[in-house]
Structure 1
Amino acid sequence: MITRHYIDVVKDASKRRIHYRKSGSGPPLLMVHQSPRSSKEYEALMEKWSGYFTCIAPDTPGFGQSDPWDGNPEINGFADAIIEFLDAIGIQKCAAYGFHSGGIILVTAIKRHPNRFAALAVGGYAIWSEEEVALFSEKYLPAFYPSAYGEHLTWLWNRILEQTWFFPWFATDGEHRLSVAHDDPQRVDAVIRDMLDAGNAYQAGYGAVLRAPRDIPAVDANVPPCLISAYDGDPLQDHIARLGEMPPSWSARKVANPEEHQTVSLAHLLEADRTALPKLKEANDEGFVGVKTDRFTGLIHWHGSRGASNLVLHAPGSAIDRSISGDNIAIDLPGHGLSDNWTGEPPSTWDGWQAVVDQVAVKLAAKSIVFADLPTGDPDRLYPDLSPDRFGNYLTKAWQIVRSAEIFKPWYKADKNHTRAFDTTALLPERLAKQHLDLLNARAAKHYHLALESRQRSDHGN
């Protein structure tokens, strides 16, 4: 089972929160994701390798659920951030794996802190030419900020979709076509959500990787062993020939497919010295608890004070209010926010939801439940299907919903009889962006609404 945690990196009187995933048993294996992804991209691989290692995958600064940097650090900053993360959770030495930009971060880290690693496996390592660097610097990382009417979402969908058609994504010509092109909405959506989490912070992390010097350690460098491999269809496979001389314990090879890359990487990592896993540390005011009922098995995200008097529930289609304080603790309900979704069809009566809430209350030692107000309107219309589609229409549909919801109540009745008073700041794109992502993550909103209605009827004896 993959669990999720938070830890704080405290440095120079500042604090930066890092989110990480963990699974398995045995010696620790650090796994660093590519940009602009998050540790979520490693869930399937963590399950494969959890029989050999305790897999630990952090979100790098600014990605996933990790706080961004203040300022615009270069690659050394991201490499040192990995070491600071290891320090914070209590790991002194481990093996490591990174794909693409994750590998670049780790190679930089291993050069700066060789004694912290037992071995390294890398999926694709970029050695850019001067012409390629110039090409990338002009167009590859445009600013990504929300716009008033959701125009940024149309760009984002096409940008992520076509990066599997061309590399770089904006070079739409025959010379830059990729053999791994697809138009799978689910695969595109996975990257879209990571980009929405990162926002324009993606420029800092991705930019640091693109600008990083591509100097493999010198032949006589005292560094742990490393294997670099790249499969057919990976645009970085051709870069294997650009690596040049490497230390004797380093090697590189071309492989046929992603499965072979994973196989050779695992075999290489298993040859490393086995380091003991210490008891890992985590934050005490935010995290995840495991819950199991007859309808739900998964993780529930919480934020606040353990043992608080009030367990605060959000409204359907929403998520945790992170500004919560005092004698309160809040959770994301199943199928909302960062919590897992229901195992099957979500229940439409309160008893199914109550079983989860009651178990969470016991685990977090909360004493009473505080319910949010039930939104006004027909659940079928309040929460339309927002499943990913081939053209990304679900993204703009969700944006129009959260914008309309600030102006009309319910949002789908845009007439003079259903106007609502609002502050113009409610329509600021950055505020709508948070609600937009919450709505996209609210996979069980309609069922939660129906369950709350059933609770109200029960309370009134109907």
Structure 2
Amino acid sequence: MSQITRHILTLPGGRRVHYRRCGSGPALLMVHQSPRSSAEYAEVMARWAAHFTCIAPDTPGFGQSDPLPGEPEIDEFADALAEFLEALGVGRCAAYGFHSGGVIAVAALKRNPSLFSCLAVGGYAVWNEEEMALFGESYLPEWHPTPYGEHLAWLWNRILEQSWFFPWFDVRDEARLSIAHADPARVHRAIMEMLDAGNAYRAGYGAVLRAPRGLPGPRADVPPTLITAFEGDPLYPHLERLGQMPVNWSAHGVATPEEHEAESLAFLQGHAAPDPCLELAQDENEGWIAVGEELIHWRGKRGVDNLYLHAPAAELVDPSDAALAIDVPGHGLSNAVADIRQAVEFAAERLGASRIDWPRPPEGDPDRLYPNLTPDRFGNYLQRAWSAARAEAMFRPWYEANAANVIEINAEALMPAAIARRARARLRAGDAARRYHHLLHSIHGD
């Protein structure tokens, strides 16, 4: 199976785009739905890699991509796709988009028909006036960290119940979905993507909701497009709302997600430009090192003497222009590995660093410093992460909340945004923090 790689590309205007790549052959642009990231395509990319060079960017403001300035509308998101492809060095290519990703892709096709050789879309929303009014009032509330983490309770239930009702806030029998689930791991993946996006989720999502839904007319000179939706998808009924389309467009329903995927792949294979995808542009001061099948995130200047490491349950801090740092395996944007030390040493060698700056472990009992953050059915693990991240700005170790263990208060460390960053770092690290702590003890002989 082809390995997915990850890359950062800074566009001419300075906006950074994170993208995933996998496979070989003609280029296929994959546009994710909101408020997700390119990570949602990992399994599909691995399956389609035998046929295409799959390229999945995080759209602006989601995942690890910078947001667009101001209050962008759908045309700005569409133009951002075109700008990314140009900077990447990719010409006319095939494209795929699911739900809001399909809306962005269709908008890009309408603005620049020569951008794609073909397009496959999973579900295309055509809202009526009543639905638009309903969404405008309730669908995209402001979402900001609160001092005591109350926002996480809302987030857990918001993500969980979006598979129960559509729209998610419409708790009526008439709004129930047939695809309801209560899988903590699945909810957690979407939770982490919302934590990355923060309140910026409203810009990308809002632009899609407000976007004009008119498709190109029957005589439009546009590339062939296939729109399908599976039974149970809340956009399945919208297939009847599409109206007249270009003669080389088609739309129909299918029974299952697997059928949608199979038909989309066959369509793309039949219409994609045959040109192979060559080397793609990427930044030279940030990327990922492959350690077997896992990826280690790094940033800074290759070839400097020291490789700096952060503390357990923390994340990479932006190094200076003359420094080099990584997210320790299992932390931040680095995958977990069985042998943390071996992976760090391998990454240092690949990056040209001659010395690893292993930090001293924090004081305290590792079994208490790093509480169990395995996702549970009720989202309690989120509050555990928040409580630890808040308390560590007041006591050392954080779990010893008494007069003997107080530390000087740093007002900035108690700002909700700062607590949110530390809580997210803990959630990303999970049990890897405890394993890294024990490794540091052994390295320093404590």
Task: Using the TM superposition, give the Cα deviation of residue 266 of structure 1 relative to its aligned residue in structure 2, in angstroms.
Answer: 0.4
Counterpart among 328, 336, 340 of residue 333 in structure 1: 328
- What corresponds to 1:142 in structure 2? 141
Task: Using the TM superposition, give the Cα deviation of residue 9 of structure 1 relative to its aligned residue in structure 2, in angstroms.
Answer: 1.2
SS of corresponding position for 1:34: coil
> Are the counterparts in 1 of residues 24 and 276 from structure 2 also a CA contact under 8 Å?
no
Q: Deviations over 1:62-114 (max 9, x none)?
A: 00000111211100000000011101110011100000000000000001111
After the TM superposition, which residues 280-291 of structure 1 pair with which residues of structure 2 at under 5 Å, given as runs?
280-291=280-291
Q: Confirm or deny that 1:298 pairs with 2:294.
A: yes
Matches of 1:40 and 1:71 in 2, distance apart? 26
> Are the counterparts in 1 of residues 155 and 191 from structure 2 also a CA contact under 8 Å?
yes
> Are the counterparts in 2 of residues 140 and 168 from structure 1 also a CA contact under 8 Å?
yes
Partner amino acid, structure 2, of 1:428 = M
Counterpart among 7, 10, 17 of residue 9 in structure 2: 7
Partner amino acid, structure 2, of 1:131 = E
Task: Using the TM superposition, give the Cα deviation of residue 399 of structure 1 relative to its aligned residue in structure 2, in angstroms.
Answer: 0.1
Which consecutive residues of structure 2, in runs of 5 or more, have no partner in the other structure? none
> Are the counterparts in 2 of residues 232 and 255 from structure 1 also a CA contact under 8 Å?
yes
SS of corresponding position for 1:275: coil
Partner amino acid, structure 1, of 2:154 = W
Q: Deviations over 1:23-64 (max 9, x none)?
A: 011111000000000000000000110000010000000000
Counterpart among 304, 311, 314 of residue 308 in structure 1: 304
- What corresponds to 2:158 in structure 1? 159
> Are the counterparts in 2 of residues 64 and 198 from structure 1 also a CA contact under 8 Å?
yes
Matches of 2:374 and 2:56 in 1, distance apart? 27
Partner amino acid, structure 2, of 1:208 = A
After the TM superposition, which residues 37-436 of structure 1 pair with which residues of structure 2 at under 5 Å, given as runs?
37-272=36-271, 273-292=273-292, 297-322=293-318, 324-342=319-337, 346=338, 352-436=339-423
Task: Using the TM superposition, give the Cα deviation of residue 370 of structure 1 relative to its aligned residue in structure 2, in angstroms.
Answer: 1.4
SS of corresponding position for 2:63: coil
> Are the counterparts in 2 of residues 37 and 63 from structure 1 also a CA contact under 8 Å?
yes
- What corresponds to 2:444 in structure 1? 456
- What corresponds to 1:349 in structure 2? none
SS of corresponding position for 2:15: strand
Matches of 1:87 and 1:144 in 2, distance apart? 33
SS of corresponding position for 2:12: strand
How many equivalent residue pairs? 442
Which consecutive residues of structure 1, in runs of 5 or more, have no partner in the other structure? 347-351
SS of corresponding position for 1:21: strand
Matches of 2:353 and 2:225 in 1, distance apart? 48
Partner amino acid, structure 2, of 1:101 = S
Task: Using the TM superposition, give the Cα deviation of residue 309 of structure 1 relative to its aligned residue in structure 2, in angstroms.
Answer: 2.0
Matches of 2:26 and 2:115 in 1, distance apart? 14
Matches of 2:265 and 2:312 in 1, distance apart? 43
Partner amino acid, structure 1, of 2:301 = S
Q: 4+ runs of 1 displaced by more than 2 Å? A: none
Task: Using the TM superposition, give the Cα deviation of residue 138 of structure 1 relative to its aligned residue in structure 2, in angstroms.
Answer: 0.2
Q: % of aligned pairs identical?
A: 55
Matches of 1:456 and 1:310 in 2, distance apart? 17
Partner amino acid, structure 1, of 2:290 = G
Matches of 1:261 and 1:429 in 2, distance apart? 42
Partner amino acid, structure 2, of 1:326 = D
Task: Using the TM superposition, give the Cα deviation of residue 383 of structure 1 relative to its aligned residue in structure 2, in angstroms.
Answer: 0.7
Normalising by the residue count of structure 2, what TM-score does the alignment of the two structures yield? 0.98
> Are the counterparts in 2 of residues 4 and 22 from structure 1 also a CA contact under 8 Å?
yes
Partner amino acid, structure 2, of 1:301 = H
Matches of 2:148 and 2:41 in 1, distance apart? 33
Partner amino acid, structure 2, of 1:339 = S
CA RMSD of the aligned region, Å? 0.9
Matches of 2:279 and 2:341 in 1, distance apart? 33
Task: Using the TM superposition, give the Cα deviation of residue 263 of structure 1 relative to its aligned residue in structure 2, in angstroms.
Answer: 0.4
Task: Using the TM superposition, give the Cα deviation of residue 260 of structure 1 relative to its aligned residue in structure 2, in angstroms.
Answer: 0.3
> Are the counterparts in 2 of residues 95 and 269 from structure 1 also a CA contact under 8 Å?
yes
Task: Using the TM superposition, give the Cα deviation of residue 333 of structure 1 relative to its aligned residue in structure 2, in angstroms.
Answer: 1.2
Task: Using the TM superposition, give the Cα deviation of residue 341 of structure 1 relative to its aligned residue in structure 2, in angstroms.
Answer: 1.1
Matches of 2:362 and 2:248 in 1, distance apart? 62
SS of corresponding position for 1:210: helix
Matches of 1:71 and 1:10 in 2, distance apart? 18
Partner amino acid, structure 2, of 1:412 = Y
Matches of 2:424 and 2:84 in 1, distance apart? 27
Partner amino acid, structure 2, of 1:95 = A
Matches of 2:289 and 2:410 in 1, distance apart? 37
Q: Deviations over 1:316-347 (max 9, x none)?
A: 1111002x1032111011111101112xxx4x
> Are the counterparts in 1 of residues 360 and 444 from structure 2 also a CA contact under 8 Å?
no
Normalising by the residue count of structure 1, what TM-score does the alignment of the two structures yield? 0.94
Matches of 2:256 and 2:44 in 1, distance apart? 15
> Are the counterparts in 2 of residues 310 and 327 from structure 1 also a CA contact under 8 Å?
no
